[in-house]
Structure 1
C-alpha cells in the first residue's frame, strides 16, 4: 500500500465551493447596502436628515441585525448539533450536553438579568434625553434667538420709517446738510443703531452716519435689490451674515405728502457681535441635533437593544465554547477509550491512545495504555500456554485415540468405573457382552446400566475383594448375550492413586467361548486321530474276511439260505465302506492341511462351485447377487471351494422339496471386509443348537452323518482370519455369513 499525497492544486470542487462562498458574501453585502439605502432614503424624505447620518445609523442597525442573526444561527447550530449527537448516541454526547447546558445556564441567568437592567437604564436615559423639558428649553432658546433677530429687524424698519417721515416732513430729502447729519447722528444715538443711510429718488446715497462702536468695514453695502424694492414702496428687513457678525437691516421708503411719490429710502442697520451669533448658532445646532436624535430615537433604542443582544449572544456562545472545550477535554479521551475498548474487544491489542493530559483523564489514559500493554503481554503468554496446551491435548488426544483403538481392537471387554460407580470407559466388546451402549452408559452409574444378573456378578466380586482385602479377583461366569449363554472370564482390579486413595475399578471381560471351542476342537482332533488309527486297522481284515466267506461258502447255500448269506456279506462290506469313509473324515479333520492363500476372485470361486450343481438339483434354484467391486482376496482356492461345497450341501439337505439358495457378496469399504452370505429356504436351525453348530460331531441331520462338515468350514474360515456366523433367514430358512479381511491395496 502506498501513501496518498496531498494534491498541489485546488480541486474543481474546492474552487466551486469557494466561488459559492464569495457569491454569498457579495450577495449579503449588496443586500445590506440596498436595505440601508432604502431605509435612509425613506427616512430622509420624511425628516430631511442628512444622508450620511441615515446611512451610518441604519447601516449599523443592519449590521447589528446581521450579526445577531449570525450569532443566533451559531447558537442554534450548536444546539442542533448536540441534539443530533444525542440521537446518534455518540459516546460523550450526554456529558457534552450537560456541560454546555450548565455553562450556558450559569452565564445566561446573570447575563439576561444584566440585559434587562441595562435595557431599563437605556430606556430611561433615552427618554430623559428626549424629555419635554429639554425639548421645550431648546425650543424656547431657539425661539428667543429668532425673536431677538426679528425684533431687531422690525425695530430697524420702524426706525427707518421714523427717519423717512421726519425727512419728508421737513423737506430734507435731497441734501446732505449738517442739519440732516445732526439729525441722523442724534437718531443713531437714540436708537442705538449702527448705521443710517439715506438714498434719494435718484438712487444716490445722500446721507450716511455710522456709530462709533462699529468699524466701516464691518457693515457691507446694502444689496441693490432691497433699495429697488423700497423705491417700489415696499418696506423690508433682513439679516446679512458676515464673517465677524450679522447685520440686521430695515429698509423703508418715505413718500410725498400725497403718499404717491417715493421721495427716498432710509436704511437703518444694527450690527450683532460674533459672540451672540455663536451662542445663537449653538442653540440652533443643538436643537437641530436634538430633532435628528429624536427622529432616531427608536432606531437608537433598537441599535442599543441589538448591541446588548449581540453581547448576550456572544456570552452565550462563549459559554457554549467553554462547555464544548471542557466537554472535549473529557469526552474526547472517553471516546478514544470507548473506541480503544472496541478495538481491544476485536483483538487489536496494539491500539494506543495518544492524548496528552495531566489531570485524572491523563492518568486514566495512561492506565488504559498500560492495561493494553499488559493485555497484549498476557495474551502472548496465554497464546504460548494455549499452544503448549494444544500440544499437550493433541498428545493426550492421540493417546486417548490410541487407547480407544487398542480397547476397540482387543478381544476382551474393558469397563472402568470411578469411585462413585460411574462408568468412565467401555469398549465395543464390553458393549456386546453386557448388552449396553457406550453412548448412553458413559457417565452413568453401573447399577443403573447393567442387567440385574450382571450387576449381581460385579457386586459379589467387589464384596469378596473387600472381605478378602485383595485388589484383584478373577471369576468365570455365564452371561446371556443375544439369546445365548457364553462363558466369560471377569478380571476385576481395584484402581488406586499415587497416595493409595481409591479411584475406582476396572473390569476385563474375556469371552471364553472361542477358547473352549478351540480346546474342544483340539480334543476332537486328537480323538478323531486316535479313532481313525484304531478303527482303520481292523476294517480291512473284516472286509476281506466277508469277501472270502462269500467266495468260499456261497456255493454251499441255496434258496433262502443263499439269499440270507448274500445279504449278510453285502451288509458287512457296505458298513465297512461307511466306516472307512467315516474314518477318512476323522483323518482329514485331524490332519487339516494348512492354508496356502493366494490372490483369488471370490466371485469366480462361488460361480465355479455353484456350477457343479446345475442339472442335479431340479427342485432347487440358485440366485446370485455378486458385487463386481469386490476386491481380490488372499485365500486358499481349494479350501474355500470346500467351504462353499459343505455349506451348499448343508442347505440342500435342509430343503424338503422345492427351494431357493441365494448367494450374495459385497464389499464393506469402511471396515475393508468382504462379506459372503448364503441363505436357503430350508427348515432352519433351532436357536438352542446355534451355539454348538460349528462343533465337531454335532449335527441336526439324520443319524449316520458324521457332522464334521460345518466344523471343517469354521476351521477353514478361521485359518483365513475370518469369521462365520449363522442367523435365521427371513421369512424362513438359514443364513450363513462369512466375513474375510481384504488385503491392503
Structure 2
C-alpha cells in the first residue's frame, strides 16, 4: 500500500506538470491538451474509485460496530478537514485572480472599431453593386426582344460600353444562349436551376461572391420576357474595385484574428479553470487517500487484536500477531499472543481428554451393540438414558417412542411391558440389596418368551440410576427340556424294551404248552390272557419306538427334490379318504431335503388331522403348497376341534397332547425334522374352526 500511494502521487505530479505546460503553451494547446487532460481525468476517476471504495468499507465497518472503525473514521475526518480547508481557500483565490488577469488583456473598443470598419467596407461594396445592377438594366433594355442569333454581337458592344467583366443570357433550363466576356476569363458558372426558375420578368437578384483568383465578384441576375412569352435571365458580373476588395479583406482578416483572440480568451480562461479544478481535485483526492492509509495504518493493530479476540471467543486460539513496534500497542500485542498460546495449550489438553472419553464411550457402545443380551440404563428419575439394539429385538419395542416417558408409564404405551415393569419396580423397591436376578415369562406375538433378568443400582459417581441386563433364554430352556426329555426317552426305551421280548415269548410259550392240557374253558381264558399280554407288549414296543425316534437326532440326507412330488407320493396312501384334498402350486418347488423324513412329517400331520376330524359332521383336510418369496409354504388344515388354548403354547413339548391315545411325541419329532431342514413350523387355529399347521422351507437357491 505505501508503494502504491507513492507511485500514484508521482504519476499525478507528472501529469499535472504536463497539463500546466499544455495549458500555457498556445502553440501546442490543440495538439496535446485534451490528451493530457483525459489522462489526468482517468487518474482522478481511479483515485475517486479507490477512495470511495475505502470509504464504503469504513462505513460498513462502522455500521457493523467493528472495533477501531470509529477511531479510523475520526482520523480520516480530521485529515480530510486539514487538507480540504486550505485547498478550497487557495482554489477560490486562484480562480478569482485568473479570471481578472485574462479579462484585463483585452479592450472592448478595438472590437467595436473593427466591426464599424467592416460595416463601412460592406456599404462601399453595396454602392458598387447598385451600379452594376443599373448597368444590367441598361443591357436588358437593349437586348429585350432581340433574337438569339443577334445577342452575342449586342452583348459585346454593351460590355465594352459599360465596362463590364462578363454578360451572359440563359433560358429557364440553364442553357447558355449568349455570352460576352473579357479575354482570358473562363466561362462563368451558370446560376442554379432554382435561382433561374424563381426569377420572373422584371425581377432581379444580386450577390457578392469571393473567388480565389479574381477576388470579390459582383453578380446581378435580371429576368425579362421575350415576344413568345418565354423568360430569359440576364447575368451581369463585374469585379469589385481592387482597393475596396483589399480593404475589405484586410478588415475581415483583422476582425477574424481579433475574434480568434477573443475566443482564445474564453478558451484560455476555461482551460486554466479546468486545469486548476483538476489539480485541486487530484490534490484533495490524494490527501484523502493518504488520510485513509495513515488512519488504517494507525488503527490496524487494534483491528487485528479485535479480530483475534473474536476468534478466541469462537474457540480459535491459533492467532499470533507479529510485533512491529515497541510502544503500548506492541506490548498489548505481546500480551495477547502469550494469552492465546496458554489458551491453546489448555484447549489441546481438554481435546485430548475429550477424545479419550469419546473413545471410551465408543468402545462401550460397540461392546453393548455386539452383546446378545439386552441392556437398558435409567437415570435417578427412572427415565431412559441408554439401550442397545438387542434390548429392542428381545422386547420387540421401539425405545425412541418411550424415551420421554418414565419407566412406570411404559405400559400405557405398550401393554405387553406391564409384567416386566411391575417385576422390575418391585425388585428395585427393595433398597436392602443392590442387585437381583430372576427368570420372567414375557408375552410376545409368537408366544411367551423366557427372560433371565438381572438388575443393579448404579453408584453415585455415575450420577446414580439403574441398569437392567436381560437375555432371551427361551431357546436355551427349550433345548434343555428337549435334552432332558431325550435322555428320559432314551433310558425309558432302553429299560422298557429289554423285558418286553421275554414277556411276549413267555406268554406265547404258556399258550403253546398249556393249550392242549387245559379244559376248553380254561384254554379260552388262557388264550385271551396271552393275547392281551402280547397286544400290550406290542403297544409298549410302539411306544418304545416313539421314544427311540424322539431321542435320536434325525440323520438327514439332503438332496434336490420337489416338494409337490413328495406330497403327491404321500397322498397316494390317503386316496381312499374323501375328506383329504390337495391344492398344489403349478410349478415345481425345489428344495434341499430328505424325502423319507419329509414323508414322515407329512404322515404325522395327516394322521393327526384324521384323528382330529373323526367327530366332525363334514370332515375336511386340505394340504396346499405355494411359493412366498424365497421360501416354500406347505399348509395342512382341518376342520376339527383345533388346538386348546392351554396346549397351543406347549404343543411341541413331549407328552403334551389332547388325544386319548398317543404319546404326544409326534409334533416334537416333526419340529426336529423341520429344523434339520433349516425351516420353521407354525401352529395355529383356523379362522372359523380347526387347526392350521404351516411348514416354511427355504428354496434351493436360498
Question: TM-score per shorter chain, which class?
Answer: 0.5 to 0.7
CA-CA distance at 1:400 after TM superposition: 3.2
Larger radius of gyration: 1
CA-CA distance at 1:661 after TM superposition: 0.8
1:455 aligns with 2:421: yes
The equivalent of 1:660 in structure 2 is: 622
Kept after mapping to 2: 8 A contact 1:605/1:641? no
Q: Distance in 2 between matches of 1:675 and 1:325?
A: 87
Residue number among 246, 269, 290 corresponding to 1:322 in the alignment: 290
1:75 aligns with 2:38: no
Kept after mapping to 2: 8 A contact 1:685/1:734? yes
The secondary structure found in structure 2 opposite 1:680 is: strand
**Which ranges of structure 1 fall in alignment gaps of 5 or more residues?**
1-24, 37-54, 136-291, 408-412, 558-564, 669-673
Q: Distance in 2 between matches of 1:722 and 1:374?
A: 67
Question: How do 1:613-632 residues align onto structure 2 when only pairs under 5 Å count?
Answer: 613-614=571-572, 616-617=574-575, 619=578, 620-623=580-583, 632=592
Residue number among 521, 525, 541 corresponding to 1:584 in the alignment: 541
Q: Distance in 2 between matches of 1:376 and 1:628?
A: 73
Query: CA distance change for structure 1 residues 579 and 425 in 2, over 3 Å: closer, same or farther?
Result: farther
Q: Distance in 2 between matches of 1:598 and 1:485?
A: 30
The secondary structure found in structure 2 opposite 1:460 is: helix
The secondary structure found in structure 2 opposite 1:661 is: strand
The secondary structure found in structure 2 opposite 1:727 is: strand
The equivalent of 1:471 in structure 2 is: 434
CA-CA distance at 1:713 after TM superposition: 3.0
Q: Distance in 2 between matches of 1:628 and 1:330?
A: 93
Residue number among 84, 109, 127 corresponding to 2:85 in the alignment: 109
Q: Distance in 1 between matches of 2:419 and 2:665?
A: 36
CA-CA distance at 1:415 after TM superposition: 5.1
Query: CA distance change for structure 1 residues 657 and 529 in 2, over 3 Å: closer, same or farther?
Result: same
Kept after mapping to 1: 8 A contact 2:604/2:670? yes
CA-CA distance at 1:587 after TM superposition: 1.4
Query: CA distance change for structure 1 residues 680 and 106 in 2, over 3 Å: closer, same or farther?
Result: same
CA-CA distance at 1:678 after TM superposition: 4.0
Residue number among 646, 666, 680 corresponding to 1:688 in the alignment: 646
Q: Distance in 2 between matches of 1:651 and 1:299?
A: 127
Question: How do 1:308-319 residues align onto structure 2 when only pairs under 5 Å count?
Answer: 308-319=276-287
The equivalent of 2:600 in structure 1 is: 642
CA-CA distance at 1:616 after TM superposition: 3.2
CA-CA distance at 1:394 after TM superposition: 5.8
Query: CA distance change for structure 1 residues 59 and 93 in 2, over 3 Å: closer, same or farther?
Result: farther
CA-CA distance at 1:583 after TM superposition: 0.6
Question: How do 1:474-489 residues align onto structure 2 when only pairs under 5 Å count?
Answer: 474-475=437-438, 479-482=442-445, 488=450
Residue number among 692, 696, 708 corresponding to 2:665 in the alignment: 708
CA-CA distance at 1:491 after TM superposition: 4.8
Q: Distance in 1 between matches of 2:328 and 2:584?
A: 91
Q: Distance in 2 between matches of 1:89 and 1:367?
A: 28
The equivalent of 1:227 in structure 2 is: none
Kept after mapping to 2: 8 A contact 1:92/1:334? no
CA-CA distance at 1:686 after TM superposition: 3.1
CA-CA distance at 1:380 after TM superposition: 9.1
Question: How do 1:25-174 residues align onto structure 2 when only pairs under 5 Å count?
Answer: 56-57=25-26, 70-80=39-49, 103-120=79-96
Kept after mapping to 2: 8 A contact 1:416/1:504? yes
Q: What's the CA shift string for 1:45-66, capped at 9, x where partnerless? A: xxxxxxxxxx955756997777
Residue number among 419, 422, 437 corresponding to 2:383 in the alignment: 422
Question: How do 1:555-574 residues align onto structure 2 when only pairs under 5 Å count?
Answer: none
Query: CA distance change for structure 1 residues 704 and 76 in 2, over 3 Å: closer, same or farther?
Result: closer
Query: CA distance change for structure 1 residues 681 and 495 in 2, over 3 Å: closer, same or farther?
Result: same
Q: What's the CA shift string for 1:175-227, capped at 9, x where partnerless? A: xxxxxxxxxxxxxxxxxxxxxxxxxxxxxxxxxxxxxxxxxxxxxxxxxxxxx
Q: Distance in 2 between matches of 1:449 and 1:416?
A: 15
The equivalent of 2:128 in structure 1 is: none
CA-CA distance at 1:600 after TM superposition: 1.0
CA-CA distance at 1:473 after TM superposition: 3.6
The secondary structure found in structure 2 opposite 1:506 is: strand
The equivalent of 1:506 in structure 2 is: 468
CA-CA distance at 1:694 after TM superposition: 2.6
The equivalent of 1:612 in structure 2 is: 570
Kept after mapping to 1: 8 A contact 2:75/2:295? yes
CA-CA distance at 1:337 after TM superposition: 11
CA-CA distance at 1:726 after TM superposition: 1.9
Kept after mapping to 1: 8 A contact 2:625/2:632? no
Query: CA distance change for structure 1 residues 532 and 570 in 2, over 3 Å: closer, same or farther?
Result: same
1:494 aligns with 2:462: no
TM-score, normalised to structure 2, is: 0.52
Query: CA distance change for structure 1 residues 614 and 629 in 2, over 3 Å: closer, same or farther?
Result: closer
Question: How do 1:191-206 residues align onto structure 2 when only pairs under 5 Å count?
Answer: none
Kept after mapping to 1: 8 A contact 2:383/2:404? yes
Kept after mapping to 2: 8 A contact 1:626/1:663? no
Q: Distance in 2 between matches of 1:111 and 1:362?
A: 36
Kept after mapping to 2: 8 A contact 1:589/1:712? no
RMSD between superposed Cα atoms in Å: 6.4
Query: CA distance change for structure 1 residues 473 and 322 in 2, over 3 Å: closer, same or farther?
Result: closer
The equivalent of 2:553 in structure 1 is: 595
Q: Distance in 1 between matches of 2:426 and 2:442?
A: 15
CA-CA distance at 1:642 after TM superposition: 3.4
Q: Distance in 1 between matches of 2:500 and 2:319?
A: 99
The secondary structure found in structure 2 opposite 1:691 is: helix
The equivalent of 1:220 in structure 2 is: none
Q: Distance in 2 between matches of 1:428 and 1:607?
A: 43
CA-CA distance at 1:359 after TM superposition: 8.7
Kept after mapping to 1: 8 A contact 2:556/2:597? no
The equivalent of 2:225 in structure 1 is: none
Query: CA distance change for structure 1 residues 697 and 492 in 2, over 3 Å: closer, same or farther?
Result: closer
The equivalent of 2:239 in structure 1 is: none
Kept after mapping to 1: 8 A contact 2:453/2:469? yes
CA-CA distance at 1:582 after TM superposition: 2.6
CA-CA distance at 1:689 after TM superposition: 1.9
Kept after mapping to 2: 8 A contact 1:433/1:481? no
The secondary structure found in structure 2 opposite 1:614 is: helix
Kept after mapping to 1: 8 A contact 2:554/2:673? no
The secondary structure found in structure 2 opposite 1:688 is: coil
Q: Distance in 2 between matches of 1:736 and 1:89?
A: 86
Query: CA distance change for structure 1 residues 718 and 576 in 2, over 3 Å: closer, same or farther?
Result: farther
Kept after mapping to 2: 8 A contact 1:722/1:739? yes
Q: Distance in 1 between matches of 2:36 and 2:62?
A: 28
Question: How do 1:316-355 residues align onto structure 2 when only pairs under 5 Å count?
Answer: 316-323=284-291, 325-326=293-294, 329=297
